[in-house]
Chains A and B, each alone.
Chain A
């Protein structure tokens, strides 16, 4: 090989070496999210919160003196895609920790892979208890459905004074089935009566049959565990049938689409969630301002706040671990105590779930209003 050829080759090699050096200085964190598809509203919010958190950390000098690099993969809200995305992040991009997902079913897909590779995974907002049961490397920064179910049961009895409720839940969604189950026991134990339980299938748009049956059962309130698309249509059709009782649900209701599709029908309805931008706490107000400045005036919802907190909790653990070794980050995550985030104080329990307060939001005059916070 002539010297003429060798020279550019050398330059090229040198270039690669420089790139390699640069990527070694950044700490790589992977994120898999539903940026498109059915739950895109949730995935996008959560992703924006995470990006803001990483940028804030890097602006303050990063972690362990190194910047954090966020590598994001989209799973299109489809089953099966998360597995591929997470395998790629771990084996090709060599991430040190993983953030994701909103939907419990997709977190459940990725968790065994992260656990097998000993990569710590922090889910921002999957509330199904099974997620962290996969193994000791899986964490979450939100409360779980048994807690949410108990909060809602107490709220229905004490605040709504509803002695008889009707439940309208999905046949197949893990979230909806789980939340209905965790509501039933504490509500009945506290003296409430579940007058009627009706089911709908995924993709249904007509709920009049079930609502007519609920109307005949003469209830004080209707519990609708499910996602915003169904909840909005259910509220609309309930009002068309002349049902004026309040409807209430869980954090799956949290999306602007609920107001857009539901219109005046969702007025006077309630749901429990992780956070409210109207919470006057200074840490929340600072976050709302920073988020609006970064994302063109958009007000952050609960998914954005949890996405933000998940990245901060992880960065805090890496800082305390003093290394990017998976096992040491895991131990630091498990030892998280009294971490003050925008969704409340995070404390990891023995099952790697965060215990924190829930917020009840009231829908009034076409807006989400902070009603109260319920401590665990």
Chain B
């Protein structure tokens, strides 16, 4: 029983990180109907910005940790908006496939220029938040796991507020529903899309820092695997749907953990992805996604 609860907890904290990255994919898809593959590399840049800031601030202070988190989110927001302005905006209105290939190009550019600037060897992320062990009976959890779970919930709640309760959130939903009509009623689409990218990239930056606090070995290719899995979570929950990303992260994180802790650990990724295929066969739009109807 203790082992089951422990694995559930491990799965929850892994899933929370996937969910946080998945939010960025889902938001950009929701507004622009396109998958920003460079998202996982913005996540990597976030971790590296955190690495450099973390060496400047004193270790183990609350304000130091907040400065690292905020600085990394701000840097990633700027990076995301720059990528949108330079790489995606000139392609607006062209077929989705072109933008998709550009996104893959931007992703490779970030990965390999990361190897030039940061070096390919893995680095040790500074302990900006000291980790404490909390035991409840036989159940052990680290304070960092709690920070990740609550951090993700907090950011998700804030995101929901922005999208549903603010004017700019309303404009985002309008652009998502119908870009032409949105422009007719006075929404500046360029500003809204730029804002969407900034917001999504800031979440990726936060994800990078939280990930690096939990797994303190960072390298320029660190975003590839979590990025792929987060993308899977976004699709699993129904891409474009914010609670869906959280649900997807939860399902993938716990499945992976339970299989990884069994005697089937060799097939961990295979089984996790098989679950995805089965769910998509039953519900092609994802768990919380609405089935889209194409007019012929």
Contact = CB atoms under 8 A, between A and B. Distances in A.
Interface in A16-50: 36-38, 40-41
B122 interface: yes
B102 interface: no
Interface in B66-86: none
A321 B14 CA distance: 60
A200 B122 CA distance: 18
A260 interface: yes
B85 to A, nearest CB: 32
A36 B120 contact: yes
Contacts of A215: 3, 6
A40 B269 contact: no
A87 interface: no
Interface in B198-240: 215-217, 221-222, 224-225
B253 to A, nearest CB: 9
Nearest to A36: B120
Interface stretch (B57-65, B151-159, B260-268): B260-268
Contact of A203 (B10, B133, B225): B225
A213 B262 contact: yes
A40 B268 CA distance: 29
Contacts of A216: 3
B133 A209 contact: no
A372 interface: no
A201 B268 contact: yes
Contact of A206 (B133, B215, B269): B215
A205 B215 contact: yes
Interface in B1-30: 3, 6-7, 10-11, 14
A215 B4 CA distance: 12
Interface residues of B, number: 35
Contacts of A233: 215-217
Contact of A210 (B121, B122, B142, B261): B261
B124 interface: yes
A206 B13 CA distance: 10
A38 B217 CA distance: 13
Nearest to A243: B140
B124 A212 contact: no
A12 B292 CA distance: 74
A240 B217 contact: no
Interface string A60-76: 00000000000000000
B135 interface: yes
A233 B222 CA distance: 14
A205 B257 contact: no
B111 interface: no
Contacts of A203: 221, 224-225
Contacts of A299: none
A207 to B, nearest CB: 8
Contact of A208 (B131, B216, B222, B257): B257
A255 B257 CA distance: 29
Contact of A40 (B14, B121, B131, B217): B121
Contacts of B131: 240
Interface in B249-263: 256-262
Contacts of A232: 217
A257 interface: yes
Contacts of A171: 266
Nearest to B138: A242
A7 B124 CA distance: 62
B142 A240 contact: yes
Nearest to A204: B225
B124 A260 contact: yes
A133 interface: no
Interface of A: 36-38, 40-41, 77, 171, 198-201, 203-206, 208-210, 212-213, 215-216, 229, 232-233, 236, 240-242, 257, 260-261
Given A40-B119, A229-B217, 17 more contacts: A37-B120, A77-B120, A198-B265, A199-B268, A200-B265, A201-B269, A203-B221, A205-B222, A206-B14, A208-B10, A208-B14, A210-B261, A212-B3, A212-B261, A242-B133, A242-B135, A260-B124
24 contacts: A36-B115, A40-B119, A198-B260, A198-B261, A199-B266, A203-B224, A204-B225, A205-B217, A205-B222, A206-B215, A208-B10, A208-B14, A209-B260, A216-B3, A232-B217, A233-B215, A240-B131, A240-B133, A242-B135, A242-B140, A257-B121, A257-B122, A257-B124, A261-B217
